[in-house]
Amino acid sequence: MEINVWTSSNVKHIHRDKVAGSYKVTVQHKGGERVFVVAHVIIATGFASGGIVHMPTYPGMVSS
């Protein structure tokens, strides 16, 4: 299995299509933007934060 990973990228917008069961994700990378339509979204916030956990919040977030 091959997994593409972009570092130094920003997710500008995520829209969930409940009917289709997919997400439309706008990513800013290397001065440009790309839009992806995907079934799953994983947001990796990094691990080199000195042991301090940073959990971003977003509208509609469901806590576990």
- Write out pLDDT tens, residues 11-60: 899 999 999 999 999 999 888 999 999 999 887 666 665 667 667 777 88
Global pTM value: 0.61
**Model pLDDT, residue 51:** 67
**Model pLDDT, residue 30:** 87
Q: Give the 3-state secondary structure percentages of the chain, helix then strand then coil, rounded to 5.
A: 0, 35, 65
**Model pLDDT, residue 54:** 67
For the four alpha carbons of 37, 5, 57 and 31, in that order, the dihedral sign comes to negative
Distance between CA 20 and CA 38 in Å, rounded?
Answer: 10
The kind and range of the H/E element at 51 are none
**Model pLDDT, residue 42:** 81
